[in-house]
Structure 1
Amino acid sequence: MLTGLLLLTACSGGGGTATPPAAAPPSTSPVPSSSPAPSTVPSTPSTSVTPPPNAGKVVVLDPGHNGGNSANPKEINRKVPAGRGAMKPCNTTGTSTNAGYPEHAFTFAVAQEVGKALADKGIKVVYTRSDDTGVGPCVDERAKIGNSAEADAVVSIHADGSTSASAHGFHVAYSSPPLNAAQGEPSQKLAHTVRDTLRTDGFTTSTYIGSAGLSARADLGGLNLSTRPTVLVECGNMRNATEAAQMSSATGQTRYAEAITQAIEAYLTAQ
C-alpha cells in the first residue's frame, strides 16, 4: 500500500540562505510476517432438515380379533365392561371369506402395512396386538391402550360378514351419542376423513349398513370406552365374492392400507 508523502519546502526570504530539505523519514511499511494469512474460504452454512409434518404424533392401530380366539372360547366369552353400563364378551372370533380366509389375518396384515407407512413419516405407532396367534385383548383393554398412549387418533380395522352375498362396501363407525369430548367433533371428523379418503380412492360405501359410509353406533365397547378420537372401519363384506378376493390378496390389502394411511395423515395434518 502506498503511503502519502509529506513534502517539506523552505520559505524564501530576502537574501537568506535556503535551508536544505530534511532527509526523508525511513519507510514505515510493515515487514511481512512469516505467519500464514487467515483463510478467506467461507464456511459451509449448516442445513437443518425439516421433520415431516406429523412427526411425533401418536396413532394407535387396532387390528380386529386375533388368531387364537377361536381356540379359547372361555377367555373370549368372558364378560367385560363395554360402556354405557353394558357388559359384553371380551372379544369374538371374527368372520371369514367363504373360502376360509379369516378376518383376523386380513386386519393384522393391513394394520402392519399402515403402521410401517406411518412410522416412516416419523409418527409413533402403537398396536393393540403384536401378532396374529394370541388371544384378545378384550375390547375394554383395547380402548385402554389408546387412552394410555394419549393417541392423536385410534383406528380399529375390521371386515364384515354379512350373509347376503350381494351386500358390499365399507362403512366407518363412531360412538354416538358421544360420551366425552373426544367422541364428539374429533371422532366424527376422523370418521368423515376416513370415509372421504376411501371413497376418493375408489372404494364403494356400504349398501347395507349405515348411511353414505358412516355408521353411528352406541353398542361397540372399543368406541364407547375411548377418550381419544376413535373410529372403526369395516373394510367390506368378506362374503361378497369381489370384496373377498380383494381382501385375500396382498395387492388388495396394500390398496386398503394405502387408503387408510392417507386418511390418518390427512386427519393429523388438519389438527
Structure 2
Amino acid sequence: MPYDENQDRPTGPRRSRWALAAVAVLVPAVALAGWLVLPGGDDGGDGGRGAAGEPSAPADVTTGPADKPGDPEATSPSPSGTSAGGPLAGRTVVVDPGHNPGNFRHTSEINKLVDIGTNRKECDTTGTASNAGHREADFTLDVSRRLRTLLEKQGARVEFTQDGDRPFGPCVDERARFGNNADADAVISVHADGSAVGNRGFHIILPGRVKSGGADTYRIVGPSRELGERVAEAFRSATGTEPSNYIGGGTGLDVRDDLGGLNLSTVPKVFVECGNMRDPKDAALLASASWRQRAAQGMADGIAGYLRR
C-alpha cells in the first residue's frame, strides 16, 4: 500500500509509518553528500498545530541532489512577487505542497481523524520517500516553490496551504478550506506516489461525484477534469515522462471519491502524482533539480492553459 491520504489503493507492499520516518532521518552519511537541506519550521500557530517551542525538523534530512551552481534552471526559487499585467493577472491559484517535512515528529496529531464528508480519515500522513531518503514532503515543497515563481511571473496571485512554516499539517480538511476561502480559480496539490518497483509515470487525480455530509463536488467535477486534462498534457510535454502504467489505464487521469482534499473542495482542484518514489528510475527523475523544474513548468503551463481558456 502507498503511504498517504491520496494513495489508499493497494499498489505494492506497505511499510509502517515508523519505518518510513526512520528511512527519512537515518540516511547513511555517504548519501547526504551534496544534498540540499530544507529546515523545518515551527511558529506554534493556529488550529491543529503543536504547541509552540517544538523542535524544528532535523538538519540532516535530505531533499534531493544539490543544484548546480550557476544553473538557473536548477535553482530552487524563492517567492518572486506577482508580475503586474501578466496573462494571469487577477487570477488566484492555490498550491498545496503535499504533507509537511515535520509530520514525522507529530504522529499523534496527524493520526487524528477528520471529517471528509463521506467518512473520517487521518488528518495527514508523513508521505513516502525514495530508497535514498528523498522525502515526498521535501520534494513537494521544492516543486511547489518553483511552480509559484512561474505562475507569479505570469501575473497570478499564488497562495500556499503550507510552506514549511508550521510544525505539521495542515489536515486534509483544512487544506480544502484554504482553497475555498481563497475563492481560488484553480487549486493544485503536489505529490509523489509510493508504489511498487516497476510502476512508473505520473497521474492526475480528479474529484469524483460526491454529495455526503459536508462534501458536495457536483459543481467542480467538470472544471476539475478540464484542469486535470490540461495539466496532464502539459506535464507530459514538459517532462518527457509518460502517464502512469499502473493507474488510469494509460490516460494519466484517475477519478477518486475518497479523498478529503477533493471531497471538501468547492473550487476546481486536482492532485498531481509526479512519479513513483519507490521505483529507482522514477526516483532518479524526482531527485533531479532540472527535472523538478520541468515538472513545475508543466504544471504552470497546464494551469495557465486552463485559466486562459
* Shorter-chain TM band: 0.7 to 0.9
1:145 equivalent among 178, 183, 193 = 178
Query: What's 2:38 paired with?
Result: none
Query: What's 1:232 paired with?
Result: 271
What are the superposed Cα offsets for residues 82-108 of structure 1, whole Å, 9 maximum, x if unpaired?
A: 122x10000000000011110000000
Query: What's 1:175 paired with?
Result: 207
2:241 equivalent among 203, 206, 216 = 203
Query: What's 1:56 paired with?
Result: 90
Q: Count the aligned residue pairs.
A: 219
Correspondence 1:119 to 2:119: no
- Give me the whole-angstrom Cα distance separating, in 2, the residues matched to 1:93 and 1:222: 16
Measured after TM superposition, the shift of residue 181 of structure 1 is: 4.1
1:156 equivalent among 185, 189, 209 = 189
Correspondence 1:165 to 2:202: no
What letter is aligned with 2:206? Y
Q: Does the Cα contact within 8 Å between 2:94 and 2:186 map onto a contact in 1?
A: yes
What letter is aligned with 2:123? C
Measured after TM superposition, the shift of residue 255 of structure 1 is: 1.3
Measured after TM superposition, the shift of residue 243 of structure 1 is: 1.3
Correspondence 1:110 to 2:143: yes
Measured after TM superposition, the shift of residue 159 of structure 1 is: 0.2
Corresponding residue SS for 2:116: strand
What letter is aligned with 2:163? S
What letter is aligned with 1:147? N
Q: Does the Cα contact within 8 Å between 2:89 and 2:154 map onto a contact in 1?
A: yes
Q: Are the structure 2 counterparts of residues 174 and 160 from structure 1 closer, same or farther at C-alpha, using a change threshold of 3 Å?
A: same
- Give me the whole-angstrom Cα distance separating, in 2, the residues matched to 1:218 and 1:149: 23
Query: What's 1:66 paired with?
Result: 100
Measured after TM superposition, the shift of residue 134 of structure 1 is: 2.5
TM-score scaled by length of structure 2? 0.69
Query: What's 1:16 paired with?
Result: none
What letter is aligned with 1:157? V
Measured after TM superposition, the shift of residue 54 of structure 1 is: 1.5
Correspondence 1:253 to 2:292: yes
Query: What's 1:190 paired with?
Result: 227
Q: Does the Cα contact within 8 Å between 1:78 and 1:89 map onto a contact in 2?
A: yes
Measured after TM superposition, the shift of residue 200 of structure 1 is: 2.5
Q: Does the Cα contact within 8 Å between 1:67 and 1:132 map onto a contact in 2?
A: no
Between structure 1 and structure 2, the one with the greater Rg is 1
Measured after TM superposition, the shift of residue 199 of structure 1 is: 2.1
Measured after TM superposition, the shift of residue 133 of structure 1 is: 6.3
Residues 213-224 of structure 1: matches in 2 within 5 Å? 213-224=252-263
TM-score scaled by length of structure 1? 0.78
Identity percentage of aligned residues: 45
Measured after TM superposition, the shift of residue 79 of structure 1 is: 0.5
What are the superposed Cα offsets for residues 146-184 of structure 1, whole Å, 9 maximum, x if unpaired?
A: 00000000000000010x211100000011125334422
What letter is aligned with 1:114? L
Gaps of 5+ in 2: 1-83, 211-215
Corresponding residue SS for 1:144: helix
Gaps of 5+ in 1: 1-49
Correspondence 1:100 to 2:137: no
Corresponding residue SS for 2:192: strand
What are the superposed Cα offsets for residues 31-50 of structure 1, whole Å, 9 maximum, x if unpaired?
A: xxxxxxxxxxxxxxxxxxx9
- Give me the whole-angstrom Cα distance separating, in 1, the residues matched to 2:120 and 2:245: 30
Measured after TM superposition, the shift of residue 198 of structure 1 is: 1.5
Corresponding residue SS for 1:191: helix
- Give me the whole-angstrom Cα distance separating, in 2, the residues matched to 1:149 and 1:216: 24
